[in-house]
Amino acid sequence: MRLILKIMEPEKTTMKIIRIVLGKIILLLNFIFTPRGVKRSEEAQQLANAKANDLTLYQFDACPFCVKVRREMKRQSVNVALKDAKGDEVAREELLAGGGRVKVPCLKITQQGTETWMYESKDIVAYLQKEFA
């Protein structure tokens, strides 16, 4: 692994290890305690799916704020397209070009030909609750 992270400064190496371990713990807890989705009629779910087709979430897999947004999507039974802004260079460039910065989570909302880039997990969760609850 690149000569043990090129023997970086101990503080950076320690923080990187802590982030990796915490990320894995967050993913494990999210897997164990996955929220239940809302039950809708088939017709209502089709309407929700149609609305969700206009949404794309740019995210990192183990980011706690991204997990928060994905959990709300699960609660609302909404299937939003996910793009990995960390591992997918094309998605990263889309996020930078459209949103102006590489910061996650970011929800791209496409309505009537216009794009809105919403950052901040709290705002995204509020938007999902307003649109799909």
Note the pLDDT tens digit of each residue in 18-68.
888 988 998 898 889 999 999 999 999 999 999 999 999 999 999 999 999
19-23, 108-112, 113-117: lowest mean pLDDT where? 19-23
Q: What is the mean pLDDT of residues 98-123?
A: 96
Residue 1: band (very low, low, confident or very high) from pLDDT cuts 50, 70, 90 = very low
Cα distance between residue 82 and residue 32, in whole Å: 21
Mean pLDDT over the full length of the chain? 91
Per-residue buried b or exposed e for 59-78, using 16+ beta carbons within 10 Å of the residue's own CB: bbebbebbbbbbebbbbbbb
Q: Which two tokens stand for residue 47?
A: 């309407």
Cα distance between residue 69 and residue 127, in whole Å: 10
Is the pLDDT assigned to residue 4 strictly greater than 80?
no
Sign of CA dihedral 122, 123, 124, 129: positive
7-11, 88-92, 124-128: lowest mean pLDDT where? 7-11
- Residue 90: its pLDDT value, please? 97
- Residue 117: its pLDDT value, please? 98
> Is residue 44 within 8 Å of 69, Cβ to Cβ?
no
Is the pLDDT assigned to residue 73 strictly greater than 90?
yes
Residue 98: band (very low, low, confident or very high) from pLDDT cuts 50, 70, 90 = very high
